[in-house]
């Protein structure tokens, strides 16, 4: 099982979530539906490690990751907003995510140029993300 | 005019009236003494001593206030810990606290044997010394600085930090690479305000450092001492110098901030 969430209870101020359990296998898609404020984002943020659950466990490939800090979990989070850092260029934004995986600036540069070519955006690399439209 | 002032006109007139009075009052500073008097006052050994001491102490104090204020502001904005609300209110206290009373409190504290003796053994003397000026300036400026720093961090959405963490960056690296640059504007602003407050700190400095002529004499003290000797030219000139230094500081910092913004 790629991801297993077991009896997850979360308490954040006024907000309470009781005993959520689900599993996701490799290649699966999981869709969580609920009204605004029902805790969809908080569940994802707890899986990513930003909040400690009050109860329950989170397993990744069978390993208990409930106590690990976010940077040790290997789970990345993409928000609808707040995806790009406004204080970095497009290039720096891509490089930021690669630097913890590739330890060679030259290789990072080649990789970004390759991705940019595929996406046909080499001319945008030095722009600030705040000047881009969706 | 129909004779009756409506609410909107009343508010606008009040705003303009106050601004005009303030500007006229400040311009009196520059035009009341003759240029010769200003010049001799400005080049007098007392003024030069006082200016130097003010700039040096305010710079040291500002650096310390920012180094201490950034972690405090960040912890108040991001973490919950035992006694947080008490810490918050203690930080608010000196804002409503008269500076003179703050100075008195510091004097009693650092003058107390239990505090002064151990410091003395370490070779540190605070009461009636130049070091006392720095301590008084720090306590005067820190609460204000923490407030601005706190709101600068509040203005940075936490989710940027979460994204950075999920990309493999630890807590401290996320702080330096994401949070600090995003809070830069507010941090610059608080640096300027801190420096201006340290330059202008009076009550606490006077009481803790003693305000001794050409010894623990900063610009506000020069203004006060000369005012009480009836030496109006020197008093006004120290006021002018204070304004000029604060103004120069603002311009320099805005230039620095501008350069920084172009680079990134
Ligand atoms: N850090 C937090 N502390 C306390 N309450 C929070 C925190 N973050 C979110 N909440 C509250 O938790 C509830 C669920 O939020 P969220 O997960 O964003 O809902 P959804 O994504 O389903 O719209 C909301 O009422 C929100 O105000
Ligand atoms: Mg949401």
Is A85 inside a domain boundary? no
Q: What percent of chain A has pLDDT over 90?
A: 74
Structurally, chain B folds into a number of domains equal to 2
Instruction: Please tell me the distance from the alpha carbon of residue A42 to that of residue A56, in angstroms, as a whole number.
Output: 15
| In a shared domain, residues B175 and B117 | yes
| In a shared domain, residues A20 and A66 | yes
Q: Which domain holds residue B142?
A: 35-263
Looking at ligand 1, which atom is closest to the CA of residue A42? Answer: 17
State which of A31, A33, A37 you would mutate to test the pocket of ligand 1, scoring each by most atoms of that ligand within 8 A of its C-beta.
Answer: A37
> Rounded mean pLDDT of B239-250?
92
> Rounded mean pLDDT of B207-218?
97
| In a shared domain, residues B184 and B71 | yes
Helix (H) or strand (E) holding A9: strand A3-12
We report the CATH number of the domain holding residue B216 as 1.10.3720.10
Is A25 inside a domain boundary? yes
| In a shared domain, residues B100 and B127 | yes
Is A20 inside a domain boundary? yes
| In a shared domain, residues A12 and A53 | yes
Least confident segment among A130-134, B150-154, B200-204: A130-134
Looking at ligand 1, which atom is closest to the CA of residue A45? Answer: 17
| In a shared domain, residues B140 and B200 | yes
Phi, psi of A59 (to 5 degrees): -115, 140
Ligand 1 and A37: CB distance under 6 A: yes
Is A78 inside a domain boundary? no
pLDDT tens digits along B38-90: 999 999 999 999 999 999 999 999 999 999 999 999 999 999 899 999 998 88
Q: Which domain holds residue A108?
A: 90-131
| In a shared domain, residues B52 and B26 | no
| In a shared domain, residues B94 and B164 | yes
Looking at ligand 1, which atom is closest to the CA of residue A38? Answer: 22
Is A107 inside a domain boundary? yes
Q: Which residue of A has its CA nearest to B170?
A: A71
Instruction: Please tell me the distance from the alpha carbon of residue A103 to that of residue A84, in angstroms, as a whole number.
Output: 22
3-class DSSP state of A32: coil
Q: Does B80 touch chain A (CB under 8 A)?
A: no
Range 166-185 of B in CB contact (< 8 A) with A? 166-171, 177-178, 181-182, 184
Please determine, for residue B148, whether its predicted confidence score (pLDDT) is greater than 50: yes
3-class DSSP state of A58: strand
Instruction: Please tell me the distance from the alpha carbon of residue A71 to that of residue B186, in angstroms, as a whole number.
Output: 28
Interface with chain B: mutation pick from A42, A44, A71, highest number of B CBs within 10 Å: A71
Nearest to B210, CA basis, from B151, B129, B150, B149: B129
Nearest to B178, CA basis, from B167, B188, B190: B167
Structurally, chain A folds into a number of domains equal to 2
| In a shared domain, residues A59 and A22 | yes
The CA A38 to ligand 2 mean position distance, Å, reads 8
3-class DSSP state of B209: helix
- Contact yes or no for A45 and B162 at CB 8 A: yes
pLDDT tens digits along B191-208: 999 999 999 999 999 999
């Amino acid at each position: 099982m790629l991801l297993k969430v077991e009896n997850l209870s979360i308490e954040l101020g006024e907000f309470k979530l009781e005993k959520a359990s689900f599993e996701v296998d490799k290649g699966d898609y999981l869709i969580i539906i609920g009204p605004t404020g029902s805790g969809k984002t908080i569940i994802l943020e707890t899986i990513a490690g930003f909040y400690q659950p009050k109860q329950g466990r989170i397993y990744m490939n069978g390993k208990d990751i409930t106590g690990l800090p976010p940077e040790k979990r290997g789970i990345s989070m993409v928000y609808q907003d707040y995806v790009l850092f406004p204080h970095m260029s497009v290039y720096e934004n891509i490089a930021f995510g690669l630097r913890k995986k590739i330890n060679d600036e030259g290789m990072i540069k080649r990789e970004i140029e390759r991705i940019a070519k595929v996406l046909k955006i080499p001319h945008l690399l030095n722009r600030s993300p705040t000047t881009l439209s969706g | 005019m129909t004779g009756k002032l409506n609410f909107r006109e009343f508010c606008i007139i009040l705003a303009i009236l106050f601004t005009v009075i303030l500007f006229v009052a400040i311009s009196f500073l520059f035009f009341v003494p003759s240029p010769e008097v200003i010049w001799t006052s400005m080049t007098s050994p007392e003024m030069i001593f006082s200016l130097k001491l003010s700039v040096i102490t305010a710079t040291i104090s500002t650096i310390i206030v920012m180094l201490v204020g950034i972690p405090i502001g960040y912890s108040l904005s991001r973490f919950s810990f035992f006694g947080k609300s008490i810490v918050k209110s203690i930080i608010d206290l000196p804002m409503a606290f008269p500076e003179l009373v703050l100075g008195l409190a510091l004097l009693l504290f650092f003058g107390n044997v239990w505090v002064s003796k151990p410091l003395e053994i370490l070779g540190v003397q605070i009461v009636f010394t130049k070091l006392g000026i720095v301590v008084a300036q720090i306590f005067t400026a820190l609460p204000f600085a923490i407030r601005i720093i706190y709101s600068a961090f509040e203005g940075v959405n936490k989710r940027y930090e979460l994204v950075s963490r999920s990309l493999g960056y630890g807590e401290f690296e996320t702080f330096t690479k994401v949070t600090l640059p995003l809070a830069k504007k507010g941090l610059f602003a608080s640096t300027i305000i801190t420096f201006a407050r340290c330059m202008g700190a009076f009550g606490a400095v006077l009481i803790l450092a003693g305000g001794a002529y050409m010894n623990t004499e900063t610009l506000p003290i020069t203004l006060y001492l000369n005012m009480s000797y009836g030496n109006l030219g020197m008093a006004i000139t120290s006021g002018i110098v204070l304004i000029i230094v604060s103004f120069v500081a603002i311009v320099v910092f805005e230039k620095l901030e501008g350069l920084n913004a172009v680079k990134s």
